[in-house]
């Protein structure tokens, strides 16, 4: 194999001709691809090569010879160091177009489907201060507790007091917890030595209810100065309704352990999506952008084409958010989730809202759905909202076998959505259209809702 035309440390001038799905600009030197963070298609930049692999390299911009009209000045003072946002340097209009192109590219490349109608991305009027959940690692620097986000590509924590995509009340609570931890002399976890106590600070906010949960993640079963910590949080943060001690003694990068101790207050907080109230516990999956969650779920409802009589199956129901949002418009809703605790939360949420025409069951959807089919359950609509890895083929086969009229697929990863769309296409299912929704402004991520129709019945 020939030697790459550039080496680490070398400076070259290139034109940025494309953009990766992580938001990096793409340029080439003699056909060799360079990924360049914070560069935009159409720009001509002088870059310094920092990494070279067999087929690609990475470079950083040293100067601009030509700037894109889509470039804006990032308002965040630590944007160039923090790895939380990737595309603050793009105007919001350009961010939305980038995300639409990302979805279209995945469908053309992976699914080999160039005819799919992909709508413009539904964005936000104010694409800032939207996150209802903060989870920040902590460290100690020169005797001071710091908390923030990891610098891109490292485990070095960039201290911050304000994150422009976090809700301000989350920032204020994180600042207060840092202050209290310092006053109480809590030791801070060191991931290299696995010594020290406090690992992460997590804050969850119910935007509609103004209720907050504080979770202290520690490398130990006991919290020194527990009473003092709790009193300080109570007195300084009146909106806090729940204080939880989470124990994580594992030597890994997983943020939360399995064991929770309620230190004070309720074991959950509440929030609302549309008319539906949800109880949120420490481990509950709950979308982090409440404003856009309503946009997303309303799109699901539209694609489901509910008239009030349909049977619906939600195959990744979590704590019941989509299932209960659709219940008002459906005849009966079934929810499946592999995490038993989430199913218990879903049942509580159904009871909380007085919704009786739902049934939630713990298990793998690809195993539960055939059982339901044998019992004579015949849904008109199936909804899936899988993790980033997409749906297992066994689940898609179970859906095909069940043969509902419509499938609504919610995806946080366009590449696995495209892969699964191709699989369904081979089974005779027809994708009608895709509606991307910007759940994570200032980042490269995009959520999609895809609408499929069953093969024509003979």
Which residues, including other chains, have CB under 8 Å from residue 255's CB and lie 6 or more apart?
135, 199, 200, 202, 217, 248
CA 415 to chain centre: 15
How far apart, in whole angstroms, are the C-alpha atoms of residue 440 and residue 124? 10
Helix (H, G, I), strand (E, B) or coil at 436: strand
Q: Report d(CA 370, CA 163) in Å as an integer.
A: 46
Nearest to 369 by CA among 354, 380, 382: 382
Contacts for 113 with CB less than 8 Å, ≥ 6 apart: 107, 418, 421, 422, 425, 431
Report the alpha-carbon distance of residue 185 to residue 174 in Å, rounded: 16
Q: How far apart are CA 293 and CA 273, in angstroms?
A: 7
Alpha carbon 18 to chain centroid, angstroms: 25
Residues 6+ apart with CB under 8 A from 193: none
The whole-angstrom separation of Cα 143 and Cα 17 is 46
Q: 3-state SS of 313-379?
A: EECCCCCCHHHHHHHCCCCEEEEEECCHHHHHHHHHHHHHCCCCCEEEEECCHHHHHHHHHHCCCCC
Pairing relationship of beta strands 32-36 and 56-66 according to DSSP bridges:
parallel
- The Cα 146–Cα 267 span in angstroms is 27
Gap between the Cα atoms of 260 and 213, Å rounded? 13
The residues that are catalytic are 412
According to DSSP, the residues that pair with 149 across neighbouring strands are: 158
- Cα separation, 121 vs 99, in Å, equals 7
**Based on C-alpha coordinates, what's the Rg of the chain?**
24
Structure tokens at 127: 């694409």
Residues counted in the chain: 458
């Amino acid at each position: 194999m020939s030697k790459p035309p550039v080496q680490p440390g070398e400076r070259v001038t290139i034109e940025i001709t494309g953009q990766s799905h992580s938001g990096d600009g793409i340029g080439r030197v003699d056909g060799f691809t360079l990924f360049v963070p914070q560069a935009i298609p159409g720009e001509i930049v002088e870059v310094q090569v920092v990494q070279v692999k067999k087929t690609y390299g990475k470079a950083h911009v040293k100067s601009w010879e030509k700037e894109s009209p889509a470039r804006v000045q990032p308002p965040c003072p630590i944007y160039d160091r923090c790895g939380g946002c990737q595309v603050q340097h793009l105007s919001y209009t350009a961010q939305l177009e980038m995300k639409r192109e990302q979805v279209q590219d995945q469908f053309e490349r992976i699914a080999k489907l160039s005819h799919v109608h992909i709508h413009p991305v539904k964005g936000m009027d104010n694409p800032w201060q939207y996150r209802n959940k903060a989870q920040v690692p902590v460290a100690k620097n020169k005797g001071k507790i710091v908390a923030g986000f990891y610098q891109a590509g490292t485990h070095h924590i960039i201290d911050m007091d304000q994150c422009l995509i976090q809700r301000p009340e989350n920032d204020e609570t994180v600042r207060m917890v840092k202050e209290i931890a310092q006053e109480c002399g809590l030791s801070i976890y060191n991931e290299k030595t696995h010594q020290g106590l406090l690992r992460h600070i997590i804050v969850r906010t119910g935007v509609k209810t103004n209720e907050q949960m504080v979770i202290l993640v520690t490398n130990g079963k006991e919290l020194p100065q527990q009473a003092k910590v709790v009193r300080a949080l109570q007195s300084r943060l009146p909106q806090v309704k729940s204080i939880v001690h989470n124990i994580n003694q594992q030597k890994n990068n997983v943020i939360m352990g399995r064991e929770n101790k309620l230190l004070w207050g309720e074991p959950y907080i509440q929030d609302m999506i549309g008319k539906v109230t949800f109880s949120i516990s420490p481990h509950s999956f709950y979308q982090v952008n409440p404003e856009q969650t309503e946009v997303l779920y309303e799109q699901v409802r539209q694609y489901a084409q509910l008239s009030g009589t349909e049977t619906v199956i939600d195959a990744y129901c979590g704590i019941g958010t989509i299932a209960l949002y659709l219940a008002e418009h459906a005849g009966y809703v079934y929810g499946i989730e592999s995490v038993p605790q989430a199913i218990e939360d879903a049942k509580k949420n159904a009871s909380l809202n007085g919704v009786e025409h739902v049934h939630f069951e713990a298990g793998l959807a690809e195993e539960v759905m055939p059982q339901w089919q044998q019992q004579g359950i015949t849904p008109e609509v199936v909804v899936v909202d899988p993790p980033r890895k997409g749906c297992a083929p066994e689940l898609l086969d179970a859906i095909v076998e069940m043969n509902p009229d419509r499938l609504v697929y919610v995806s946080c990863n366009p590449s696995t959505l495209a892969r699964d769309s191709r699989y369904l296409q081979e089974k005779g299912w027809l994708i009608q259209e895709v509606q991307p929704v910007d759940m994570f402004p200032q980042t490269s991520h995009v959520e999609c809702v895809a609408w499929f129709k069953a093969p024509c019945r003979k």
